[in-house]
Amino acid sequence: MIATQHALQVWCNVANITMTEVGDTQRNVGDFRFAFSSAVSDAGKWVWGWCSFPDSNASAADIWIAPAYDKFGGWSVYDYNFEHLMHEIGHGLGLKHPGNYNADGSGSDGPYLPANLDSTTYTIMSYNLSKYDFWDTSLQKYILVPHQTPMVYDIQAIQYLYGANNNYHTGNDTYIFDPSKPFYMSIWDAGGIDTIDVSDFKTNCTIDLTPGHYSSLLYNNQGTGSDGTGAYLYDGIDNLGIAFGAIIENVTAGSGNDTIIGNSANNIINGGAGNDTIYGGTGIDTIVFNGKEANYTITLFGTGFSTKDNVGSDGSDTVLNAAILQFTDHTLTFARTPDVNLLESYRFYKAAFDRTPDYGGLGYWYNNINHGAAVTSVANSFIGSDEFKKMYGDNPSDSTFVTELYQHAFGRTPDQNGYDFWVNDLKVETRAQVLTHFSESAEIIAKVAGIIANGIIYEAYAA
């Protein structure tokens, strides 16, 4: 009884369906009735049960089960009986087999799924089984790995027929997976800020947050399976689906060399230990690192950046299409295509100090310009800084100012014409204006072009 109630509920979880238990009389019957019947056994020893499609007849959607299966395994979500219950209920709700087959040997009406998708991996209405053999080290035998929920195409089909259950899992849910408990399941989640947590896994997992796609939480298995061929040896490939229309925002990965793929939300992704590859989606994604920023080497390349943890266990990660790097002490922003204000802020450091900006300082001046500060005001602050005075002197003459500016900005001594021009210009313009001219000069722009070709990283300033 409990298994039946649960199997009905898993369909209600994903679709706009409500099940109510009622008494059964000769005149009033429920839409579903469940019973054991020897007639099912007579149809063949491998026939678990049967169910007709819904219609107006009293017997429609009644589910008959071969009595032998009552004693064959249990009825929890970890048992095949439960998966078969979900399968038969699917028929009673109007779902057919995805291929041209039925239990009695007859054919099923089309349309059909392509052969490569006609599998219980994608729909529990299929007769083609996913890999199911898993070696249980405590029992010292192979156990079967059933499906605990309807799968991605089941959910899509049932929601097409009945609509989606938009009240299911609307809070901030965390889906935690256990490397000691093999599974197949799909997630339908109607709202909230949600997380997939595979932090206990040590294998090289693939976590794909794209709705309608599958993740592979890999399991270490052994042997050749119950049939001796290894054909059905469970490995965790495509064991976790995310339903179409379901948005999972965040990932906490394990210690393997994982591959993580974002979606349209603003994902927060913690790759954990190992050498991970992370593909951001179309949102503003945050990559979480488990150490201080100074412990990492960050390298920019054409489509993203790589990080190397020089102290801890985060490993060497490759990140594409993500905007924010969150360390335990600092949060940095990666601008793949810097805007005008960020470029101006960056070039002041190269012109005045001939160095790469520190992340915090660059973010500070970028914020100032974004909020209306004139570039000459920023230049004046650079000139008044201790760093500038140390390099140029406390009160340099115009001659010294121009000579040092050429040296730091362009890496050379001034040509005579240039020297004469800027020394004379200082009679009518301020040093801040001259520094701004140098910062915006074609020579400086060309000098930094190669350095920032792959983007700029800065620490956003919080006022």
What residues pair up with 296 in beta bridges, in sequence order? Answer: 309
Tell me the backbone φ, ψ of residue 400, rounded to 5 degrees: -65, -40
In whole angstroms, give the CA distance from residue 146 to residue 73: 12
The encoded tokens of residue 7 equal 């199997």
Please state the φ and ψ torsions of residue 457, each to the nearest 5 degrees. Answer: -110, 135
From 300, 350, 355, select the one nearest 325 (Cα to Cα): 300
162: three-class secondary structure by DSSP: helix
Token representation of residue 371:
């909020």
CB atoms near residue 200 (< 10 Å): 13
CA distance 460 to 361: 9
What DSSP string runs through 356-395? Answer: PPPHHHHHHHHHHHHTT--HHHHHHHHHTSHHHHHHH-SS
Q: Strand 206-208 to strand 174-176: parallel, antiparallel, or no bridges (unpaired)?
A: unpaired
User: Would residue 249 show up in a list of annotated catalytic residues for this protein?
Assistant: no
| Cα separation, 49 vs 35, whole angstroms | 10
CA distance 150 to 144: 17
Q: Are strands 268-270 and 250-252 parallel, antiparallel or unpaired?
A: parallel
Helix, strand, coil percentages in the chain from 3-state DSSP, rounded to 5: 30, 20, 55
Q: Is there a contact between 358 and 418 (Cβ–Cβ < 8 Å)?
A: no
Separation between Cα atoms, residue 287 and residue 360, nearest integer Å: 18
H helical segments located in 197-305? none
Catalytic-labelled residue, pool 21, 83, 88, 440: 88
What distance in Å separates the CA atoms of residue 156 and residue 188, rounded to the nearest whole number?
10
Residue whose tokens read 């009552």: 70
- The structure tokens listed for 49 are 């049960």
Instruction: Take residue 380 and report the two structure tokens written for it.
Output: 């004046």
As a whole number of angstroms, the distance between CA 180 and CA 316 comes to: 27
Contact 317, 418 (CB under 8 A): no
Instruction: Indicate which residues carry an active-site annotation.
Output: 88
